[in-house]
Structure 1
Amino acid sequence: MAPPPAYALIATDLDGTLLRGDDTLSERSLAALARVADAGARHLVVTGRPAPRVRPLLDALGTTGLAVCGQGAQVYDAGTGRLLWSVTLDRELAETALGKIEAEVGEVYAAVDQDGVDGLTLIEPGYRMPHPTLPAVRVDRRDDLWRTPISKVLLRHPVLSDDELAAAARGVVGSLATVTMSGPGTVELQPCGITKATGLALAAERLGLGRESALAFGDMPNDIPMFQWAARGVAMANAHPELKAVADEVTLSNEDDGIAVVLERLFA
């Protein structure tokens, strides 16, 4: 009998990490993940995207198990098409947090991800989707963003950089929400205390796996909690400096199959 793999749980972010810039998976990455499965290890997608925006990618991966979505606020079962766990962001708190941010930095443009497996991404006038391939529904006014339960708020500023907007938001939001930065043009508000590590820990527990067997890949500051939870964290060459600073290793970029390079070495 073959010995168990050193890392029984492989957690990968999607955008800027496993996915190429055109939202596709390379054949080399798919082959490397197949090696992981053949060795008896489990692959978990851990992404900021909500469950409805992840399903086509899970289909491409042939995933029928769990995925962590919505920055850790959702644990989705691809096999049954159900959310096993979901935390919503209180809409009154979200409005209050948004007001505090605008009082600090001026007008921002907002969008929300609705809760649920069929939830939509709603965007107010002026908001531009950072990923043009992801579907969104434009609403006429901000009040329309709050009409149904939401998992998170997405923010953009017409002048400030993502780092500047995230820092300003953290300075005024306090315990109203958790502020994350998950990609270019993507500063987010999510339920207070919820991070990728929250959802990853819950999913791992359901799989009977612990943090000591987890290997995580990512590219942005929102992956820092996941790196802190896992036994080892690998940042992409294109990763944000904050994530590289806490990574155990830096691999090649997402365009150069950085995940595959590491997995081929570990699962030879």
Structure 2
Amino acid sequence: MGAVTDTSRTRLIATDLDGTLLRDDKSVSDRTVAALAAAEIAGIEVFFVTGRPARWMDVVSDHVHGHGLAICANGAAVVDLHRGRQIIDVRPLDRDDALTVVSALRAEAPGVSFAVERTGGIHFEPAYPALHRDPVVSTAPVEKLLAPGFVGGVGGSGWDGGGGWDGGGEYGGQPVLKLLAHHPELEPDAFLDLGRKVAGSHAQFTRSSPSALLEISGSGVSKASTLARSCEKRGIRPEEVVAFGDMPNDLEMLCWAGTSYAMANAHPDVLAATTHRAASNEDDGVAEVIERLLVGG
């Protein structure tokens, strides 16, 4: 599994959730809960660093103990789990950049559909598949979803198909955390490569889903860049951070941290980019490494 950093030099553990800390059924094992608590007792901070939105952080809300910070939406939002999953910092995607990405992907990947993740919820195009567990806030063409004055229908369509609106809450003023692009036929990594090629100068592209689903953030926004900002505020250096991940959206973070572990179940690119290995998420790989870290070996 590789060497473990000396606990005297480790000040922070940064861990992804899905496919990493969480088991496949989205549960947190008792062993993992105990390991996270032991790390905190030893004076090591724990950050959850995930592509999930704040509202999906209930999976770890009962296990935060002293650690209350989560970096969500691939770095676009910092969330205080001790204050009801309140978003305390946002790094938004610019509307003009989002529209440029939409235009480029539509031209190069016919059949693509979009969703817009704002701080207050997610909004879908009619053709976008129901990939998420929470209900869509509004349904409309993505140009409408990105409009500054966008008004959405709560739990239904905010656009009547003829240019009008059916009421609901004001969403246009909420920052855009992510633009999501889904393609029904393309291979996931090929779709990611395409997105970066045609619009990578306007936004940050990554993926974490097994399907052809791109997660698009503002330029320079990633798990790594937001983690680095958070660590700098605390006087924590990269070499004092141990990070865990499994998918392409973890790559920058794993390369930034002084010590990084790819899960045994990780994407091939993640395995190739990291030196150390942890057991799979089903085998409590994060907990196992923390346990060895705390005993100095």
TM-score of the superposition, structure 1-length normalised? 0.90
Work out which of the residue numbers 172, 189, 197 in structure 2 matches 1:171.
Answer: 197
Question: What is the deviation of 1:48?
Answer: 1.1
Aligned 1:78-117 pairs, distance under 5 A: 78-81=81-84, 82-115=86-119
Any idea what SS the aligned residue of 1:103 has? helix
Aligned partners of 1:263 and 1:226: how far apart in 2?
18
Residue number in structure 2 paired with 1:53: 56
Output aligned runs, 1:21-32, within 5 Å: 21-32=24-35
- Percent identity (aligned): 41
Matching residue of 1:219: 246
Alpha carbons of structure 1 residues 267 and 129: separation in structure 2 relative to 1, 3 Å: farther
**Does 2:208 correspond to 1:204?**
no
SS of residue matched to 1:187:
strand
TM-aligned CA deviation for residue 135 of structure 1 = 4.4
- 1:161/1:264 CA distance change after superposition, 3 Å: same
- Give the one of 150, 155, 167 matched to 2:181: 155
Aligned CA RMSD, in angstroms, stands at 1.9
How does the TM-score come out when normalised to structure 2?
A: 0.82
Whole-Å Cα distance in 2 between the matches of residues 112 and 95 of structure 1?
Answer: 11
> Residues of 1 paired with 2:10 and 2:251: CA distance?
19
Q: Which AA in structure 2 matches 1:179?
A: F
Whether 1:250 and 2:252 are equivalent positions in the alignment is no
Structure 2's unaligned 5+ residue stretches are 1-5, 151-171
Native 8 Å contact 2:99 2:143 kept in 1: no
Question: C-alpha displacement at 1:99, in angstroms?
Answer: 1.2
Q: Deviations over 1:81-113 (max 9, x none)?
A: 543321111122212211101211212121121
In our comparison, the structure showing a higher alpha carbon Rg is 2
Contact 1:15/1:183 (CA < 8 Å) preserved in 2?
no
Aligned residues: 261
C-alpha distance in 1 between matches for 2:236 and 2:116:
32
Deviation for aligned residue 1:70: 1.4
**Counterparts of 1:31 and 1:136, CA distance in 2:** 35
Deviation, structure 1 residue 76 = 1.9
User: What's the offset of the Cα at 1:134?
Assistant: 4.2
Higher helix share: 1
TM-superposition CA deviations, 1:154-211 (whole Å, max 9, x none) = 1110100110110111110032111111232331111011111111012212333221
Contact kept? 2:64, 2:81, Cα under 8 Å: no
The 5 Å alignment of 1:39-50 reads 39-50=42-53
